[in-house]
């Protein structure tokens, strides 16, 4: 799996997760909710990991959602 994106915004994370799931893209989220325990920006951002085979499609979804960073 390859890291697609780090996010600290839970709303954006949910939107991205829903979009990836709706396209049957193999992904997982690590550190989700950790920034609630440590509310310092970028210290414990959620990491979205995507299967290597789905990386191109996931990047397109990210671009469509304007989540490019």
Q: pLDDT tens digits, residue range 11-56?
A: 899 999 999 999 999 999 998 766 566 656 666 788 999 999 999 9
Q: Considering the domain boundaries, does residue 30 fall inside one?
A: yes
Q: What is the pLDDT of residue 32?
A: 78
Range of the domain at 53: 2-64
Q: Considering the domain boundaries, does residue 47 fall inside one?
A: yes
Q: What is the CATH number of the domain that holds 27?
A: 3.30.70.790
Q: Considering the domain boundaries, does residue 51 fall inside one?
A: yes
Specify burial of residue 4 (Cβ count, 10 A radius: 0-12, 13-18, 19+): buried
Q: What is the pTM of this model?
A: 0.82
Q: What is the pLDDT of residue 40?
A: 61
Q: Considering the domain boundaries, does residue 58 fall inside one?
A: yes
Could you give the number of structural domains in the chain? 1
Q: Considering the domain boundaries, does residue 69 fall inside one?
A: no
């Amino acid at each position: 799996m390859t890291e697609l994106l780090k996010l600290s915004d839970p709303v954006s994370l949910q939107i991205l997760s829903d979009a990836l799931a709706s396209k049957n893209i193999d992904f997982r989220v690590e550190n989700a909710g950790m920034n609630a325990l440590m509310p310092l920006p970028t210290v414990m951002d959620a990491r979205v990991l995507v299967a290597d085979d789905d990386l191109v499609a996931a990047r397109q979804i990210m671009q469509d959602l304007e989540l490019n960073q």
